[in-house]
Structure 1
Amino acid sequence: MKHPGAILPVALAMSGCAGSEPVAIAPPIAAPAVYATDLPAAGLQEEWWLGFGDPVLDRLIRRGLEANLDIDAASGRLAAAAALLRAERADRLPGLDGSAEIGTTLVGEGEDTAAAGLFALFEPDLNGRLAAEVRAAVADYAETNYLLAEQRRLVAAAIASQYIEYRRTQTQLDLLEQSTDLQDQTLRIVTLRFEAGLAANLDVRRAAADLAQTRARRGLVEIARANALSALAILLAEPPGAFAIEPLADGFRIPGYGAGPPAGVPADLLRRRTDILAAEARLARAAAEIGIEQADLRPSLTIPGEIGIGDGLLSGLFGDFLVGIAAAIDIPIFDGGRRRAEVAAAEAVAEARVAEYRATFLNALGQVENALVSIEAYRQRNAALTEAIDQSETALAQSNALYREGLASLFDVLDAQRQLIASRQALIDSEAALASSFVAFHSAIGSQ
């Protein structure tokens, strides 16, 4: 679901009423012309997660957008805001109520009585209060609409992040299996050499200690995997204990992102980030509140009307028939400064909303810049770690060969093993961080 187009302009000219001074709130946003760091290559923007090329992730996000309870709650709030907007608009129309009464007297000969009537009330909105209340309701509806889209943005990003964490832990567990096999093989070789009198018992203990340390890391990784699964289950509104993810056909791997979104500029955030649009709607609401409070400084007009049929209804054909109409005007004279104080309070709230709007934009801009820096940094780190793994594999093979010939110590072998295992683990973490940086980037630029 895409978020709606901009309902409210950044420069808000909210008029208190016809003939009154307008309430103007125009927060200037100094958006940079370009981002500080180059954008990734152009790619998907809508349904950006398809760029990972992971069918399991695709299914999880689509399920989450349908089932997530926070999205359901936001949808309920949007329905309520729509109903309240209809109610505010209805207040600008004339109202008509009916009444009926029937009874009998219990003294004397007794007499049946009945009365019926229609009562009308119309407020012409002389002071502009009703129009301002409608504008406030429009702003509330816009905010809840944007917040619904914002919740969808956050849920998609959260599912992708937790899925990447799940894949990271699965890949780490797979690496731990390979590492323990490698270290167990080294331990067997060292043990055989010790039994043959070619190695010291200290070498056996060192190899066994390294193997035990690697096995000890498994529990921590399993905890992280369980946490990621539980978080995914909650995002999909499912019980955590029974939730599971099907394995990929090509085994465990960290999803890699193919491309970034179309190149944009920072000012695009003003029309795309739903939290910025929601802050803009709150600003519009604050402007409308000023109009509401200003309306109380001016006269108001009420026109009531009544049509009634009275006591003679049962004894005569028409009984007593009454038609009445009136007009009442309320003119503010003295209230000890209360109304003007309420206007001042509304203006102060509007100033706070301006600051919040600017802060929301700057935070969004910072998130984009941080994600761009992270993408570039993790790309460089991955390249360096890949080189480190290649070198460590060569060093381990050479140290093993020299150890068998008695030309190197076990310490050299174990040190090469540690470096290789550490580099492989670091690469998995770095690949996951790069994938998470792409998630953060798409979320930051407001992709839906």
Structure 2
Amino acid sequence: MSRLLAMLVCVAALSGCARGDPVLSTPQMAAPARYATDLPPSGVDSEWWLGFDDPVLDALVRRGLEANLNVEAAAGRLASAEALLRAERSDRLPGIDGQAGVGIALADNSRVTADAGLFGLFNPDINGRLAAEIRAAAADYAEQDYLLADQRRLVAAAIASQYVEYRRTGARLDLLDQSTDLQEQTLRIVTLRFEAGLSANLDVRRAAADLAQTRAQRGLIAIARSQAENALAVLQAEPPGVFAVPEPAEATIPRYGLGPPAGVPADLLRRRTDILAAEARLERAAADIGIERADLRPSLTIPGTLGLGDGSLGGIFSNFLLSLGAAIDLPLFDGGRRRAEVEAAQFEAQARLAEYRATFLQSLGEVENALVSIDAYRQRNDELAEAIEQSETALSQSNALYREGLASLFDVLDAQRQLIASRQDLIDSEADLASSFVAFHAAVGSD
């Protein structure tokens, strides 16, 4: 026994000198000091969708985060990773198995035989493989934890985006009704003037064509509305066609009021869960290098057995036999396979580092794009509001001149088209602005 202990101490000492597994430090990223476009800071720094002040949207997001199947799947993968981490940690403890058997020996008057015993195995992890495997499993668990949070980020943004689209189509349908009413009034006036001999039949045809063209948009808007509603149903884990979005009080685009400040680009490294997941994958790659390096070192296992009985059924507890040993595996020659596997793990770590950097740069681009969009759509909305005001005045004046015979129907219809187009553009621009706020919060990793 003393020789066995001395040998174990010697092997452990030699192995300890060979240890040198890579330890990951968070990569330094060259992040800009500030974003190119500023967003004024405000009061809401969590549950960003509350900035829309829309109870329907709030209910949809909360329900979706609870019921969404992608979130549920991510939670299942997290639970699986946690179980695998516990399994890896259990390898640091001795394993014990039991065995028992009963048979009949045909010799010696068919004597009944019996045997039982305990078998144990302990790995002291002198080469560090178990420790590296635990690090790898812990990194996998961290990645799945971040991916669950990232899935919630994406689901909240997807629900908000589809809700904005649903509201956009509602506003477009409401505008369509207003536009058809306006064009129907024009058609009635033109028809009366034609019947009175004050206008040509060509004017009637032009007004009727414009009205039909406007009505023809209803089907396309209905398709977009149905698609948004069905997408919301899937995000809520509800069957499309059965789920119905509660109707808001007004057919308008939700406007974003308060929200968190953009912060600085370096904040993405601790707020964006997909970046943190990429960092966890980098940690896993570093642990894999340690696993492969461990195979270059000696390994040791300590098996033990405890036998019971003398072989007879009645003497099962009469004798006890205990044995303890040690098995050492010394890597000598494998044609370079183990070192090639270490190199492969090192190259994989380099790839993971490149992916980490690419994820950060992509996230940075998403924030910048969202900030630019917010600023641009705000300015566009102001200009479109001015265009609508001018178009309404032009239409009113052209109608008055047409009744007096001082303007042609073409002037009236052209003013109508400009007004309708400007109103449609404003609805779309307001929806794009709302979507830009959604994209911004998804990009900065808001809760």
Compared with structure 1, are the counterparts of its residues 92 and 194 closer, same or farther at alpha carbon in structure 2 (3 Å cutoff)? same
Contact 2:309 2:315 in 1 (8 A): no
1:232-311 equivalences under 5 Å are 232-249=232-249, 251-311=250-310
- State how far apart, in whole Å, the 2-side matches of 1:437 and 1:302 are: 60
Whether 1:348 aligns to 2:347 is yes
Aligned pairs for 1:200-215 within 5 A: 200-215=200-215
CA distance in 2, matches of 1:165, 1:241: 17
Query: Residues 82-101 of structure 1: matches in 2 within 5 Å?
Result: 82-101=82-101
The answer for the alignment partner of 1:7 in structure 2 is none
Corresponding residue number in structure 1 for 2:389: 390
Using the size of structure 2 for normalisation, the TM-score is 0.94
Contact 1:17 1:131 in 2 (8 A): no
Are the equivalent residues in 2 in contact too, given 1:313–1:319 (CA < 8 A)?
A: no
Does the 8 Å contact 1:78/1:145 carry over to 2? yes
Tell me the number of residue pairs that the alignment of Structure 1 and Structure 2 aligns: 432
Secondary structure of residue in 2 paired with 1:256 = coil
Q: Which amino acid aligns with 2:185?
A: Q
Shift of the alpha carbon at 1:19? 5.1
Where structure 1 has 5 or more consecutive residues not aligned to the other structure, the ranges are 1-15
1:73 maps to which residue? 73
> What is aligned with 2:378?
379
For 1:129, the equivalent position in structure 2 comes to 129
CA distance in 2, matches of 1:74, 1:440: 22
Equivalences for residues 168-183 of structure 1 within 5 A:
168-183=168-183
Aligned 1:121-160 pairs, distance under 5 A: 121-160=121-160
Give distance in 1, aligned partners of 2:316 and 2:45: 75
- The answer (yes or no) to whether the contact 1:313–1:320 under 8 Å persists in 2 is no
Partner of 1:419 in structure 2?
418
TM-score normalized with structure 1 length: 0.94
* Secondary structure of the structure 2 residue equivalent to 1:406: coil
Distance in 2 between the 1:40 and 1:47 partners?
Answer: 18
- Kindly tell me: are residues 164 and 317 of structure 1, through their superposed partners in 2, closer, same or farther at Cα, counting changes over 3 Å? closer
What's 1:363 paired with?
362
User: Which residue in the other structure is 2:8 paired with?
Assistant: none
Residue of structure 2 in register with 1:218 after alignment: 218
Letter in 1 for 2:168: R
2:186 corresponding residue in structure 1: 186
Provide the C-alpha distance between the structure 2 equivalents of 1:318 and 1:25, rounded to a whole number of angstroms.
54
User: Which residue of 2 is the match for residue 400 of structure 1?
Assistant: 399
Kindly state the Cα deviation for residue 248 of structure 1 after the two structures are TM-superposed: 1.7
Q: Aligned with 2:216: secondary structure? A: helix
Q: Distance in 1 between matches of 2:255 and 2:146?
A: 30
Alpha-carbon contact 1:40-1:260 (below 8 Å) kept: no
Q: Which moved further from structure 2: 139-148 or 261-270?
A: 261-270
Consecutive unaligned residues in structure 2, runs of 5 or more: 1-14
Q: CA 1:259–1:18 in structure 2 vs 1: closer, same or farther (change >3 Å)?
A: farther
Supply the distance in 2 between the matched residues of 1:19 and 1:341 (Cα, whole angstroms). 18
Q: Does 1:434 align with 2:436?
A: no
Deviation at 1:350, TM superposition (A): 0.1
Change (3 A) 1:258 1:324: same
In the alignment, the residues of structure 2 paired with residue 417 and residue 41 of structure 1 have an alpha-carbon distance, to the nearest angstrom, of 40
Whole-angstrom distance in 2 between the partners of 1:39 and 1:214:
38
Shift of 1:122: 0.5
Shift of 1:317: 7.1
The Cα shift of 1:263 comes to: 4.4
CA distance in 1, matches of 2:208, 2:17: 86
Distance in structure 2 (CA, Å) of the matches to 1:292 and 1:317:
43
Q: Once the two structures are superposed, what CA deviation does each residue of 1:298-342 show, in whole Å capped at 9, x if it has no partner?
A: 000110011101334434474442110001110000000000000
Indicate conservation of the 8 Å contact 1:254/1:432, yes or no: yes
Shift of 1:41: 3.1
**RMSD (Å), alpha carbons:** 1.4
The one-letter code sitting in structure 2 at the alignment partner of 1:301 is L
Q: Could you tell me whether the CA contact under 8 Å between 2:116 and 2:316 is conserved in 1? A: no
Q: In 2, Cα distance between the equivalents of 1:18 and 1:144?
A: 34
One-letter code aligned to 2:434: A
- Give, in angstroms, the shift of residue 113 of structure 1: 1.1
Aligned residue in 2 for 1:114: 114
For 1:49 and 1:300, the matched residues in 2 are separated by 55
Kept in 1: contact 2:286–2:349 (CA 8 A): yes
Question: 1:333 aligns to what?
Answer: 332
Check whether the contact 1:17–1:291 (CA below 8 A) recurs between aligned residues. no
* Cα distance between partner residues in 2 of 1:317 and 1:432: 82
Shift of 1:112: 1.5
Contact kept in structure 1, 2:21 and 2:289, CA below 8 Å: no
Q: Which residue of 1 aligns with 2:50?
A: 50
Q: What secondary structure is seen at the aligned counterpart in 1 of 2:109? A: coil
